[in-house]
A and B are shown apart, each in its own frame.
Chain A
Amino acid sequence: MAAPFVLVVLAAVTVRAALYRSSLANFIAERVEVASPLNAWKRVVEGLALLDLGVSPYSGDIFHETPLIIYLFHFLIEYAELVFMITDVLTAVALYLAIQDFNKVVFKKQKLLIELDKYAPDVAELIQTPMEMHYIPLKVALFYLLNPYTVMSCVAKSTCAINNSVIAFFILATIKGSAFLSAVFLALATYQSLYPLTLFAPALLYLLQRQFIPIKLKSKSFWLYTMQYASLYLCSLVVIICLSFFLLNSWDFIPSVYGFILSVPDLTPNIGLFWYFFAEMFEHFSLFFVCVFQINVFFYTIPLAIKLKEHPMFFMFVQLAIISIFKSYPTVGDIALYMAFLPVWSHLYRFLRNIFILSCVLIFCSFLFPVLWHLWIYAGSANSNFYYAITLTFNIGQILLVSDYFYAFLRREYYLTHGLHLTRQDGTEAMLVLK
C-alpha cells in the first residue's frame, strides 16, 4: 500500500506547489471562507513583525495564535509553504496509519461478534470484508490530500492545517492505544483552538474499550481510568499553557486566544453561523446568546456519548463534524478534516437517504460563496443576507450530512442485530423509521 500512497502524496504536493506559484495563491489567501481571524497567515506574519519591532503581538486585535505557533514560525517563516505542505502530508500519513489500525480493530470486533452469534442470520451482506476495507486508508488519505478544501486551505497558508495535523496525530495515538500520547496531542489541539475539548469523550470511550473496561457508572476501574486519562490531559494542558507564558513572559495570550474564541468579537463574515446573528443583535443580549451558541458546541457530547458508547470512532467523527459546523470561526479546512473520514463509513452508503441532494447542496454552495461575496462586497447589488443565506444552506447541508450518516449507522447496527428483513409481530414486513 505504500506505493499508491506515495503517488497520492506526490500528486497532492504537485497540486499545491503549482498553486503556490500561480496568481491564485493571493486570491485564495484573501478569501474569508479559507482564512478566519484565528488562522489567517497574514496575521501570523503581522504578529511576528510586531514582535520584531518589540511590541507584544497580542496587544492589538490582530494576532490570535498561540505562543507555540509564534515559536514555530519564528524559525520557519521563510519556508512557510514547505511547512504547510509537510503538515498536510503528515496529516495524511497520520490518518492513513490510524485508519489502517482502526480497520484491524473493526475487523477483529466483527469477527468476535459473529462468533458470539450476536448478529442475525441474514445480514451477510452487511458485514464488512477485508477486501473492501483494504483500500479505505488510501481513500482516506486521498480524500484528505486532494480535497479542494484542503488544497485551498494549504495554499492560503492557514494554520488550520496545523490544527488538523495535531488532531490527526491525536486520533492516531488514540487508535494505537497510547493514553499518554493521546492526552498530549489532545492537550495541544485544545490549546490551539478550544473546541477539541469535546473530543476527550470519544477518545476516553475508545481507550476504555481497548482496555476492556466496561462502561458502567458504578465500576471502579472505569472511574480510575477516567481519572488517569483526565489528569494526564489536564496536566499536559496546564504544562503547555505555563510553558507559553515563558515565551513572552505574559499571560496576554489567554484573553487574545481563548477570550477571542469564546466571546466572538470579530464579526467578519465567514462560513459559520455566528457573524450574522451577532451583527444584528443588541448589546444587551449578546452575552446571553454568545453563551447559548458556545454551549451548543459542547452540548451534543453527552447525549452522543450515551448513544454511541459502543462506537467511539463514529462518535469521534460526528463530534469533529459538530465542531467544524458550530465553532465560532469555521473555515473550509475544518470541514476537510471530517470529510476525510467519510470513506471509513462507505459501507453505510446503502442506508444514506439524502446523499445526492446533500452533495449537490454542498458543491453548489461552495461555488456560490465567492459569487455572492463578489455581488455583495464588490458589485453592491446584493447584501449580507445573500451571503448569510448561502452560509445557512451550507451549514444545513453539513448538518444533514452528519445526521444522515448517523441515522445510517444506527440503522445498520439495528439491522445487524435484528436481521435485514424486519417483521412485525403478525409477520408482515416492517420499515425502520427514525422517530
Chain B
Amino acid sequence: DQAEQFLRSGHTNNWAVLVCTSRFWFNYRHVANTLSVYRSVKRLGIPDSHIVLMLADDMACNPRNPKPATVFSHKNMELNVYGDDVEVDYRSYEVTVENFLRVLTGRIPPSTPRSKRLLSDDRSNILIYMTGHGGNGFLKFQDSEEITNVELADAFEQMWQKRRYNELLFIIDTCQGASMYERFYSPNIMALASSQVGEDSLSHQPDLGIGVHLMDRYTFYVLEFLEEIHPASQTNMNDLFQVCPKSLCVSTPGHRTDLFQRDPQNVLITDFFGSVRKVEITTEALSLDREVAAVESKFPDEELATEPLKYAEQLPVAQIIHQKPKQKDWHPPGGFILGLWALIIMVFFKTYGIKHMKHVF
C-alpha cells in the first residue's frame, strides 16, 4: 500500500498561485484570506520561490489600519498573517487580469524577474487560490475589470497544452464561485468553490477593534482544517470537500472532480498544499568506481584520433585584408548625376565663356 501511494501522484514539485483581487480597506478580509492560505502553504513546505502571491491592496500599511504592519485573520487578533517574511510578488496595481493570465500561461515579457514567474513544468502540481468579489461567470479585479470563467478555462487549457502542470487544484472563495469552474475542459483539474451559482459567500466575523470583517467563512473553515495538516498527514481531498457545510457556511460549497483522473479519495491534501518530496531511503552502498570505468570504456581511443588543428589552416591573412568593403546598396540614379554635372558644366562655361571649351577638349 505504501508503494502504491508512492507511485500514485506523478508530480515532482509544487507551485501555488494565490490571488486576492480586491482593493480598498473594506475588503480586508480578502487579503487576510489570501495571506492565511499563503501561511499554510508555506508552513507545509512550498517555498516562496514557488509561490506567486498577488495582493491587490496593502492592508498592513493602509492608513486606516489601527494596527499598522499587521493583517489579522482571527477574532481577537490571534493570528497575524503578515509578518516580516511575506513576499508579495504582484502588488497593488500590478494585479490585473492580464498579469494573472500571463503568469498562468507563461507568456511574460523577458524582463520579468523570476519571482514573478510561474516556472512550472509538466510534473508540477499547482494550487490556484482566488478570492475577491465575483458574480455569475466572472471575478472582479481591482474594481475596474473582470476575468470570465471562459478566459480562465482557456488559460488552463493553454497551460495543459504547454505542459505547464501535472495536476491543478483551483479554489475560489467569492460569491457564486461555482460559476468560475463550470467551463473548465482541460484534464487533471480539481476545483472547489465557496458557493453555488445564485448564492453569496459570506464573511465570518467583524472585528470591532479593526472595524472590518477579518475573514470569509469558507476560507476560515478551510484554514481550521489545514491547521491540522502537517507534511506527513494522509488526509485526502474528500475531507476537504466536507469542510464548511451549509450550517456553518450559509452558502453551499461546491466542487468539481470530473476532469481529474485520480479518485479524490486517493489525492492527499499535501499533494497540493504542501511540497512533499518523495524520498526513498536505502541502505545499499553503491560503488562508483565500476560506474566510471564503465563510462570510460564506452569511448575507445581511436575515435578521438582526429588531427589537431594547425594555425596555418585558418583563413589566410591575405584573403582577410583584401576583402572588399561592404557594397553600398544605393546609388544615385544615372539621370540625376548626368543632369547635375551638365548643369555645373553649363554654369561654368556661361561664367567663363565658351572659348575655354576648346582648351578643355
Residue ranges of A at the interface with B (Cβ–Cβ < 8 Å) = 51-54, 68, 70-71, 74, 178, 180-181, 184, 239, 243, 246-247, 249
Closest residue to B329 on the A side, CB-wise? A52
Looking at the complex, which of B51-59, B163-171, B227-235, B339-347 is the stretch in contact with chain A? B339-347
A-B contact pairs, 8 of them (CB 8 A): A51-B330, A53-B329, A54-B329, A68-B340, A71-B340, A74-B330, A74-B331, A181-B347
B343 touches A52 (CB 8 A): no
Q: Does B336 contact A (CB under 8 A)?
A: yes
Residue ranges of B at the interface with A (Cβ–Cβ < 8 Å) = 328-333, 335-337, 339-340, 343, 347, 350-351
CA distance A423 to B206 in the complex (A): 103
A243 touches B343 (CB 8 A): yes
Contacts of A54 in B (CB 8 A): 329-330
CA distance A68 to B336 in the complex (A): 10
CA distance A53 to B343 in the complex (A): 30
Q: Determine how close the nearest CB of chain A comes to the CB of B33; give it in whole angstroms.
A: 44
CA distance A382 to B328 in the complex (A): 45
B351 touches A247 (CB 8 A): no
CA distance A239 to B332 in the complex (A): 18
CA distance A328 to B138 in the complex (A): 57
Given contacts A180-B351, A243-B339, contact A52 B332 (CB under 8 A): no
B333 contact from A68, A178, A246, Cβ within 8 A: A246
Closest residue to A184 on the B side, CB-wise? B347
CA distance A74 to B331 in the complex (A): 8
Contacts of A249 in B (CB 8 A): 333
Contacts of A181 in B (CB 8 A): 347, 351
Contacts of A53 in B (CB 8 A): 329
Q: Which of B331, B332, B333 has the most CB of A within 10 A?
A: B332
Closest residue to A244 on the B side, CB-wise? B336
Beyond A51-B330, A52-B328, A52-B330, 19 additional contacts (C-beta under 8 Å) are A54-B329, A68-B340, A70-B332, A71-B336, A71-B337, A74-B328, A74-B331, A74-B332, A180-B347, A180-B351, A181-B351, A239-B343, A243-B339, A243-B340, A246-B333, A246-B336, A246-B339, A247-B333, A247-B336
Interface SS majority for chain B: helix
Closest 4 CB pairs of A and B: A51-B330, A246-B336, A247-B336, A52-B329
Contacts of A178 in B (CB 8 A): 351
Closest residue to A185 on the B side, CB-wise? B347
Contacts of B335 in A (CB 8 A): 246
Closest residue to B350 on the A side, CB-wise? A180
CA distance A71 to B340 in the complex (A): 10
CA distance A393 to B335 in the complex (A): 49
CA distance A243 to B335 in the complex (A): 9
Q: Determine how close the nearest CB of chain B comes to the CB of A326; give it in whole angstroms.
A: 31
Q: Determine how close the nearest CB of chain A comes to the CB of B173; give it in whole angstroms.
A: 48
Contacts of B347 in A (CB 8 A): 180-181, 184
CA distance A243 to B344 in the complex (A): 12
Q: Which of A52, A180, A243, A246 has the most CB of B within 10 A?
A: A246
Contacts of A74 in B (CB 8 A): 328, 330-332
CA distance A71 to B347 in the complex (A): 19
Q: Determine how close the nearest CB of chain A comes to the CB of B12; give it in whole angstroms.
A: 50
Closest residue to B340 on the A side, CB-wise? A243
Closest residue to A71 on the B side, CB-wise? B332
CA distance A267 to B330 in the complex (A): 32
Closest residue to B330 on the A side, CB-wise? A51
Contacts of B331 in A (CB 8 A): 74
Closest residue to A74 on the B side, CB-wise? B332
Q: Determine how close the nearest CB of chain B comes to the CB of A105; give it in whole angstroms.
A: 20
CA distance A126 to B61 in the complex (A): 84
Contacts of B351 in A (CB 8 A): 178, 180-181
CA distance A184 to B330 in the complex (A): 28
Q: Which of B328, B331, B337 has the most CB of A within 10 A?
A: B328
Q: Determine how close the nearest CB of chain B comes to the CB of A228; give it in whole angstroms.
A: 14
Contacts of A52 in B (CB 8 A): 328-330
Q: Determine how close the nearest CB of chain B comes to the CB of A390; give it in whole angstroms.
A: 40
CA distance A184 to B350 in the complex (A): 12
Closest residue to A54 on the B side, CB-wise? B329
A247 contact from B328, B329, B332, B350, Cβ within 8 A: B332
Q: Determine how close the nearest CB of chain B comes to the CB of A79; give it in whole angstroms.
A: 14
Closest residue to A77 on the B side, CB-wise? B328
Closest residue to B347 on the A side, CB-wise? A184
CA distance A133 to B315 in the complex (A): 67
Contacts of B332 in A (CB 8 A): 70-71, 74, 247
Contacts of A184 in B (CB 8 A): 347
Closest residue to B331 on the A side, CB-wise? A74
CA distance A360 to B330 in the complex (A): 50
CA distance A51 to B331 in the complex (A): 9
Contacts of A68 in B (CB 8 A): 340
Q: Which of A70, A178, A247 has the most CB of B within 10 A?
A: A247
CA distance A54 to B328 in the complex (A): 11
Contacts of A51 in B (CB 8 A): 330
Contacts of B328 in A (CB 8 A): 52, 74
CA distance A180 to B353 in the complex (A): 13
Closest residue to A55 on the B side, CB-wise? B330
Q: Determine how close the nearest CB of chain A comes to the CB of B290; give it in whole angstroms.
A: 62
Q: Determine how close the nearest CB of chain A comes to the CB of B36; give it in whole angstroms.
A: 45
Q: Determine how close the nearest CB of chain B comes to the CB of A226; give it in whole angstroms.
A: 20
CA distance A68 to B339 in the complex (A): 12
CA distance A243 to B332 in the complex (A): 12
CA distance A180 to B343 in the complex (A): 13
Closest residue to A239 on the B side, CB-wise? B343
Q: Determine how close the nearest CB of chain B comes to the CB of A191; give it in whole angstroms.
A: 13
Closest residue to B328 on the A side, CB-wise? A52
